[in-house]
Chain A
Amino acid sequence: MSALSTGTPRRAQATPAGDRRRRRLRQILIYLLMAVVLAIMLFPFYWMILTSLRSQVDNTSPVPVWFFKPTLQNYVNVIRQNNFLAYTWHSLVIATLATSVGLVLGLPAAYSIARYKQNGLAFAILMARLTPYITYLVPWYMAFRVLHLIDTYVALTATHLIVGMPLIIWIMISFFEEVPRDLEEAAYVDGASRFGTFTRIVLPLSTPGIVAASILSFIFSWNQFLFSLVLSGPNTKPVPVAVFNFISYGQINFGGLGAAAVLITLPVVILTLAIQRYIVSGLTMGAVKG
Chain B
Amino acid sequence: MTERASRFFDRNAQWLFPLPAVIAIVILFVGPVLANAYISVHDWYIGGTPKYIGLGNFVRALNDHRFWSGLKNTFYFTLVAVPLELVLGLGIAVLFNRDFRGKGLVRTVILLPMVATPVAIALIWALMFNPSLGVMNYFLESLGLPRSLWVASAQLAIPSLTLVDIWEWTPMVALILLAALQGVPTELYEAAIIDGAGPVQAFRFITLPSIRSAAVIALILRSIDALKTFDIIYVITQGGPGIASETLNVFAFKTGFEFFRAGYAASLLIFLLVAVLGVSILLNMTRRRPA
Contacts and interface: CB of A to CB of B under 8 A. Distances in A.
Interface of A: 1-6, 8, 10, 30-31, 33-34, 37-38, 40-42, 44-45, 47-48, 51, 59-64, 104-106, 108-109, 111-113, 116, 118, 121, 124-125, 127-128, 130-143, 145, 158-159, 161-162, 165, 169, 193-195, 198, 219, 222-223, 225-226, 230, 239-241, 243-244, 247, 252, 254, 257-258, 260-262, 264-265, 268-269, 272-273, 276, 279-280, 283-285, 287-289
B172 A283 contact: yes
Contacts, number: 290
Interface of A is mostly: helix
A265 B120 contact: yes
B17 A138 contact: no
B202 A3 contact: yes
27 contacts: A2-B184, A3-B189, A31-B100, A37-B92, A38-B110, A45-B124, A104-B20, A106-B21, A108-B17, A131-B33, A135-B269, A135-B272, A135-B273, A139-B36, A139-B39, A142-B262, A165-B24, A260-B120, A260-B123, A272-B112, A272-B115, A276-B111, A279-B111, A280-B111, A280-B176, A287-B217, A287-B221
Contact of A138 (B22, B126, B176, B266): B266
A47 B124 contact: yes
B9 A287 contact: no
A124 B230 contact: no
Contacts of A268: 115-117
A2 B189 contact: yes
A111 B186 CA distance: 36
Given A3-B189, A3-B193, A113-B18, A258 B124 contact: yes
Across chains A and B, which 8 residue pairs bring their CB atoms closest together, nearest first? A109-B21, A139-B35, A112-B17, A5-B98, A261-B120, A3-B189, A240-B119, A194-B13
Nearest to A230: B257
Contacts of B14: 112, 116
Nearest to B9: A195
B279 to A, nearest CB: 10
Given A3-B192, A131-B29, A288-B179, 15 more contacts: A1-B186, A2-B97, A2-B184, A4-B203, A30-B98, A106-B21, A121-B18, A128-B29, A135-B32, A198-B17, A223-B116, A261-B123, A276-B111, A279-B111, A280-B111
B221 A10 contact: no
Contacts of B108: 272-273, 276
Contacts of B18: 108-109, 112-113, 118, 121
A34 B127 contact: no
Interface in B108-144: 108-121, 123-128, 130, 132-133, 135, 138
Nearest to B184: A2
Interface string B164-202: 000100011001100110001010011011001011001
B133 A62 contact: yes
Contacts of B36: 135-136, 138-139
Interface of B: 6, 9-10, 13-14, 17-18, 20-22, 24-25, 28-33, 35-36, 39, 46-47, 92, 94-100, 106-121, 123-128, 130, 132-133, 135, 138, 167, 171-172, 175-176, 179-180, 184, 186, 189-190, 192-193, 196, 198-199, 202-203, 207, 214, 217-218, 221, 224, 227-228, 230-231, 234-235, 249, 252-253, 256-257, 262, 265-266, 269, 272-273, 276-277, 280
Q: Which of A60, A112, A121, A289 has the most CB of B within 10 A?
A: A112
A138 B269 contact: yes
A289 B39 contact: no
Contacts of A289: 179
B21 A108 contact: yes
Contacts of A222: 117
Nearest to A280: B175
Given A48-B124, A135-B36, A225 B193 contact: no
